[in-house]
Amino acid sequence: AQSVTQLDSQVPVFEEAPVELRCNYSSSVSVYLFWYVQYPNQGLQLLLKYLSGSTLVKGINGFEAEFNKSQTSFHLRKPSVHISDTAEYFCAVSEDTGTASKLTFGTGTRLQVTL
Amino acid sequence: DADVTQTPRNRITKTGKRIMLECSQTKGHDRMYWYRQDPGLGLRLIYYSFDVKDINKGEISDGYSVSRQAQAKFSLSLESAIPNQTALYFCATSDPASGRAYEQYFGPGTRLTVT
């Protein structure tokens, strides 16, 4: 069975500072990896995804993530955050079984950006 | 107009009452999902449906039932609501015909409070 661990429940950061949100996963087969963002009082929006190929993937709003198979990690980064990035971020994994579409989510990391 | 809609957006009900949450989509996707979100627990899968005749239990289906009335509609019922079912509920869809069955699109959520 697959699982996802987001070790940081909250990450406070000042505006224009860099940020990294950590995600580790566990699976016995190949996986697809995702980051979703949830702005206050809204549903989830796909930020970026790793399917195959380049291990560095770029998403919306200047975010990027790097897939590291040996460390089973998929950390999310942004070099300079903005107040509007304040949201909850969820890492998710789906096993590559051909018809896979079930997602397993981490517990979320709340990013709080302040001036 | 939103592609995935949920009604109601907010609901307060009493213990023991039957309640139905509805999800509709205009994306033409075959697959639909119901999740619940609890603080510190992320999103957990309740039920999912790969088409109108295929309904499957997720990791936390006890106390819930679903109905897939049509390709576009997927309802979640709580037969006898209890306070620990207080949560934010999300509906999602995905489209295996696109080759991206793993990419899920979320509705805005229903906040349910059971008193």
The reply to whether omega before B108 is within 30° of 0 (cis) is no
The pLDDT value recorded for residue A100 is 52
Chain A residues whose CB is inside 8 A of the B42 CB are: 6, 90, 105-108
pLDDT at residue A114 tops 80: yes
Question: In whole angstroms, what is the distance from residue B43 CA to residue A105 CA?
Answer: 6
- Amino acid occupying residue B108: P
pLDDT in tens, A20-75: 999 999 987 778 899 999 998 888 999 999 988 899 999 999 999 999 999 999 99
Question: In whole angstroms, what is the distance from residue A59 CA to residue B93 CA?
Answer: 21
pLDDT in tens, A82-105: 999 999 999 999 876 655 567 899
Average pLDDT value for residue range B23-28: 95
B83 vs B2, which has greater pLDDT? Answer: B83
* Contact flag A44-B44 (C-beta cutoff 8 Å): no
B59 vs A95, which has greater pLDDT? Answer: B59
* Contact flag A46-B103 (C-beta cutoff 8 Å): yes
